Amino acid sequence: MNRKIIHLAVGKPKEYTWGNKKEVSAIGKSYVEAVELKKSGFIGDDVANHKFHGGVDRAVCLYPFEHYSYWEEMFNKKLNPPAFGENITATGMLEEQVYIGDIYKIDDAVIQVTQGRGPCATISNYNEEKSFLKKVVETSLTGYFFRMLREGTIKFNSEIELVERDENEISVFFATKVLFHQKKDKASIEKILKVEALAEDWRKRFLKLL
């Protein structure tokens, strides 16, 4: 499987005007050739709302590059990475192929999948498509987050090496679909809660569903 970074980006919060409303967001990230990853995230990267974004369980955001053609066809427009505000746009890393708890090595950095992404209206506003958020939630093609296990510098053309697969085999797609669309599926929720590496925020959400 060819796991490869297509685009690498970081960014600080900026003010946008969407409609008649001003909002601060860090969705508009900029390309970098290399960037250092720390426990809290990439150097030069941040979020606007620390209550709902960022933190050690969400230090790195990845979005699968393969989805871009799907959205471009749906909305009949060109979308350039990082249209979803992701740090890493990569091939060979679809939500169905990646398990929560999987550990990956990128150059000298080591990261672990923690949860799917809970998208918000910023995706619709930033890409100027009112139904974007709704479609992302419907499809569960959300992208996902990692925590940092070992600091390191990641480069724009790095390959992504799978180091360890989580034995529970709970894919990001499965967990996201249960959270969004199968809220009363007790058996699936209990399976997801067995994943030790599950982000604390998602653990609380699934426990609340139980």
pLDDT, position 50: 59
Distance between CA atoms of residues 2 and 66, nearest Å: 12
Q: What is the mean pLDDT of each run of 10 residues along the chain (210 residues)?
A: 92 89 91 96 81 80 98 97 97 97 97 94 93 96 98 94 97 98 97 98 96
- Residue 7 has a CB neighbour count (10 Å cut-off) of 19
Radius of gyration in angstroms for the set of CA atoms belonging to the chain, rounded to a whole number: 16
Cis omega before residue 82 (within 30°)? Answer: yes
Domains in the chain: ranges and CATH: 4-209 (2.40.33.20)
Distance between CA atoms of residues 9 and 162, nearest Å: 21
pLDDT, position 49: 63
Distance between CA atoms of residues 114 and 155, nearest Å: 22
pLDDT, position 48: 63
Phi, psi of 129, rounded to the nearest 5 degrees? -135, 110
Beta bridge partner(s), residue 159: 4
pLDDT, position 53: 62
